Amino acid sequence: MNPDAIILAGGRGIRLQSIVYDRPKPMALVNERPFVEWLIRWLRRQGVRRVVLATGYMAEAYERYFGNGAALGIEIHYSVEQEPLGTGGALRRALDSVQSDEIIVLNGDSYCQADLTQLRQRHREQKAQVTVWLTEVGECDRYGAVRAAEDGAVIEFCEKQPGLGRGAINAGIYWFQRAAVEIIPLQQNVSLERDLFPSLIGKGLYSYTGHGPFIDIGTPDSYAAAGEYLRAEFARLEVD
């Protein structure tokens, strides 16, 4: 798979700091490895060979642990933000380290059993600017919901609120055209979820809805559940 991947790993993880205080959130240990290592292994398994880690808080921890990625059989580069730029700003800053015209983008604190081949197919069929992997969950209250048309065109992002019930959520996995990243202003704090994506509704923002498990490590409760919940999946990644 030719596109480079960017993992957004600049967050501090304030809600998690009561139990993970000596490292950035994506470096929190899950099944004895940093969570972001599992994401890198997952990308490699799906054919990605070049990854950019977009880091910020305690950025040195990533480079000290991963180096150039040779130990994992993948090429790793780094884009370090000196001040918080949000998910969109961090993505725009990392673009200088990307060689491909299409880019896979992942949040560094969540995992979903997505299929990048299916995501790429939807993206190219619709000639999309950005395609978002959605996944069905029983309760959308904590995440907010995403409404899409039959062809995958995103219609609406529903804010987090009680009573949303079952529906599709943004799983934090995206297929971007380079041009869609280039429209993000340089060195400005921009959110993909609140700023960029709403501005692209009706202008090339599509989705693919899967049914794989989704988990994030943003809170102590979800972090505690991550190891057991993903143990079997991570075991498959470890043998590659």
Please give the pLDDT value at position 221: 87
Q: Could you tell me how far CA 18 lies from the centroid of its own chain? A: 24
Q: Of 44, 62, 38, which Cα lies nearest the Cα of 5?
A: 44
Q: Is 203 a residue of the active site?
A: no
> SS3 string of 80-108?
ECCCCCHHHHHHHHHHHHCCCCEEEEEEC
The closest alpha carbon to 13, from 57, 79, 52, belongs to 57
Most confident option among 52-61, 163-172, 207-216: 52-61
- CA dihedral angle for residue 12, residue 167, residue 117, residue 46, rounded to 10 degrees: 40
Q: In this predicted structure, what is the pLDDT of residue 234?
A: 74
pLDDT cut 90: percent of the chain above it = 72
| Mean pLDDT, residues 186-204 | 96
- Closest by CA to 126, choosing from 192, 205, 209, is 205
The tens digit of pLDDT for each residue in 64-96 reads 999 999 999 999 999 999 999 999 999 999 999
Neighbours of 120 (CB within 10 A): 19
Catalytic site residue from 25, 127, 160, 203: 160
Q: Give the predicted TM-score (pTM) of the model.
A: 0.94
Domains along the chain? Answer: 4-238 (3.90.550.10)
Q: Which two tokens stand for residue 68?
A: 């150039």
Using pLDDT thresholds of 50, 70 and 90, give the confidence band for residue 163.
confident
Specify the pLDDT at position 237: 72
Please indicate whether residue 179 or residue 219 has the higher confidence score (pLDDT).
179
CA distances from 8 to 12, 25, 68, 92 (A): 12, 11, 17, 11
* pLDDT tier, 1 (very low <50, low <70, confident <90, very high otherwise): low
The answer, yes or no, to whether residue 8 has pLDDT greater than 90, is: yes
